[in-house]
Structure 1
């Protein structure tokens, strides 16, 4: 049953976890490296991951003998690596010439948009909210994500090189803190 209060709550929770605005420096970095952002592909892959995890997440983790905490820690490590690249201005994950264009999947769709934090949040929301309202909340967030990804070239022009360098490091530290929090919460609960 559609409940606007639930939809609003789910949308805000997912918006804060996805934090696409905080990921703008990463998006611009991918744009500079790849030459373009495949907004449609990244959004569709993120949608598939989120909706699949809504219905099959716990079963998929159980199939591999994993728990939500282990999955979250793995995502935190990927976020940590991306954050270190942003802060230090280095490349830890080397470009694979054969994988050109794959950045729509890694790190864009996973772990930045539909990462461990988002997917574990979706599992948690399922306990509290109606599935239809969660689906609508996911859809609303993906529309906003798509708009941000489509405007990445415009954002790069507005922000400029020096603004981008500052934002990249500031958001790198924020992304690092998010990775540390996810790690700490799941390794040292309570």
Structure 2
């Protein structure tokens, strides 16, 4: 076992920034007002299961279609870069349709375990030990669950400006991580 606090902390921050559950509070509140109750436990468990499953079989799926982890990590770094730009500048580069029901599908996937999260998990796998990434997934799942349970209170407490500040701070952190991920994996890719 290669547990490393620094790797766990970095992976947790990457996932926290990519999942952006605090930035999703307005979407969660909108869904809750449209359909009533959101199953926080079920959404959290399904999202965590998807992330852990992708951590283990994602690389095999890539190998099946002929893509190596370094190429995917570079592509993931670019996706993370654009997510960070969206967070910092407050613009929307990618627009998803608003879901009709608040079940596992819109909350667990794609809101929590979406393309950006799954890409980040494989990108992290190229650089960190699997057990540290699993701990980071668990930490984020617990946080997601707590946010889903108390989203209305959090929105009232932070207000729109508070949520905006948090989103921008994590956007800058995410941007720095994307640059580091890109630099590390592009070297590996070019040296093959």
Q: TM-score scaled by structure 1?
A: 0.68
Q: Which runs of 5+ in 2 are unaligned?
A: none
Alignment partner of 1:71 is 2:72: yes
1:71: Cα distance to partner? 1.9
| Matching of residues 8-47 of structure 1 within 5 Å | 14-19=11-16, 23-31=20-28, 34=31, 39-40=40-41, 42-47=43-48
Q: What SS is found at the alignment partner of 1:19?
A: helix
Structure 1 CA distance for aligned equivalents of residues 18 and 41 of structure 2: 17
Q: Secondary structure at the match of 1:94?
A: coil
Task: Indicate which of 105, 122, 129 corresponds to 1:119.
Answer: 122
Task: Give the secondary structure class of the aligned counterpart of 2:95.
Answer: coil
The answer for the alignment partner of 1:150 in structure 2 is 149
Question: How many angstroms does 1:93 deviate by?
Answer: 1.6
Cα deviation, 1:136-190, whole Å, max 9, x if unaligned, reads 7754553343223333322211111222222222222222222232222222349
Distance 1:162 1:51, change over 3 A: closer
Aligned residues of 2:14 and 2:120 also touching (Cα < 8 A): yes
Matches of 2:67 and 2:83, distance apart in 1? 24
Structure 1 unaligned segments of length 5 or more: list them: none
Partners of 1:43 and 1:145 within 8 A in 2: yes
Match of 1:109 in 2: 113
Cα 1:87/1:70, change in 2 over 3 Å: same
Shift of 1:62: 0.6
Matched residue pairs, number? 181
Contact 2:77 2:123 in 1 (8 A): no
What TM-score do the two structures reach when normalised by structure 2?
0.67
